[in-house]
Amino acid sequence: MGDIKVSEFVKIFFAFFKVGILTFGGGYTMLPLLQRDISQKLGWATDEEIIDYYAISQSLPGIIAINTAMLIGYGRRRTSGLVAATLGMSCPSIIIILIIAVFISNFLHLEFISHAFNGIRVAVAALIFNSAISMWRSGVKDAAGFLIFAAALAAFSLADISPVWPVVAGGAAGIALKSGRKAQP
């Protein structure tokens, strides 16, 4: 494994496997799991670092969950950590998709399956809302942060644009605002 012991590789793999198997509804729902498991329990990244990785992942091509796992894994143990985190995050999805593909067509017509999916959507909305509150608390710390938030929210709400542009614009605004504050006597 090069720069990583097999036990560390397995530890990273299973940490992200757990997040991957519990992430229903897309990348947004994994944020509270990452904060709890990766940040608070394992201490591999701070909450702020996870949110930074998450923001970067949204502006990269590909799946947010995989991109975030890759960044955290790389930060933990470079290339080997990246591989372990990526495999850990993607294996549950592959396993679940294979199981669903084999059995779902036999059960889609059942009313309770439809109700279950409706309930899952509501629970996922709650997870996303919880993540939004958490991100708000760590990201919006002053009036400038609120203005960046409001501009990004308006851009997403009013225009059909890629998430890349508000993320890049927010980063540029943050740099400009912090640079402007340092330049003041």
- pLDDT tens digits along 63-109: 888 999 999 999 999 999 999 999 999 999 899 888 888 887 777 77
Distance CA 134, CA 68 (A): 17
Give the number of domains in the chain.
1
In a domain, 146, yes or no: no
- The verdict on residue 64 lying in a domain is yes
Structural domain contains residue 141 = no
Residue 130 pLDDT: 83
Residues 115, 120, 124, CA angle at the centre, nearest 5°? Answer: 150
Residue 128 or residue 37, greater confidence: 37
Q: Which domain holds residue 67?
A: 6-107
Decide if 65 is inside a domain: yes
> Residue 4 pLDDT > 70, yes or no?
no
Residue pair 51/43 in contact (Cβ under 8 Å)? The answer is no
pLDDT of 7 strictly over 70: yes
- How confident is the model at residue 91, as a pLDDT? 93
Domain assignment present for 123: no
Q: Rounded to two decimals, what is the model's pTM?
A: 0.62
Residue 89 lies in a domain: yes
Instruction: Answer yes or no: is 81 within a domain.
Output: yes
Least confident of 28-42, 99-113, 116-130: 99-113
Does residue 34 sit in helix, strand or coil? helix
Burial of 65 by CB count in 10 Å (0-12 exposed, 13-18 middle, 19+ buried)? Answer: buried
